[in-house]
Amino acid sequence: MKRSLFLIFNHQLTEAQETDARSTLGVRRIVGLPPDLKRLWEQIPADLPELGGHLEPLKDWLGSEAAEGDYVLIQGDFGACFIMVNAAFERGLTPVYATTTREAVEERGPDGSVTVTRRFRHQIFRRYAKTSEVLKTLNCEA
């Protein structure tokens, strides 16, 4: 089965991420957000009390473009991610997020200042768990 990876996140996919997606997830096609939806995802209004309506265009796009079994890389605003992960599950898609190792290097300047450089390296794509699976793990009922 030829699967696609749909990108709902604010960054450019790195070469390591693309290689990993093709080798471990088996995706053949990687699909970024159209420019208008990319702006919508990058600029989630902080003053909106509820995001459902704001994210409808993204849900519509995913529903019209993705096929059951496709992957969706979802990262960004926590509440928006929660909504889009659930939307992906409802459509038979597999939502994932990228994990990284992080390295920090501190350099002390002659004036006593400290410069911190952070380096992130892609590790794996991790699948989101369904809410029901999380609750089961916690011995709760849905």
* Selection from 129, 115, 9, 3 nearest residue 67 by Cα: 3
In a domain, 28, yes or no: yes
In a domain, 30, yes or no: yes
Q: Domain count of the chain?
A: 1
Pairing state between β 114-127 and 94-108: antiparallel
In a domain, 55, yes or no: yes
In a domain, 32, yes or no: yes
Give the tens place of pLDDT for each residue, 31-87: 999 999 999 999 999 999 999 899 999 999 999 999 999 999 999 999 999 999 999
In a domain, 104, yes or no: yes
8-33: average pLDDT? 95
Q: What's at 23, amino acid-wise?
A: S
In a domain, 142, yes or no: no
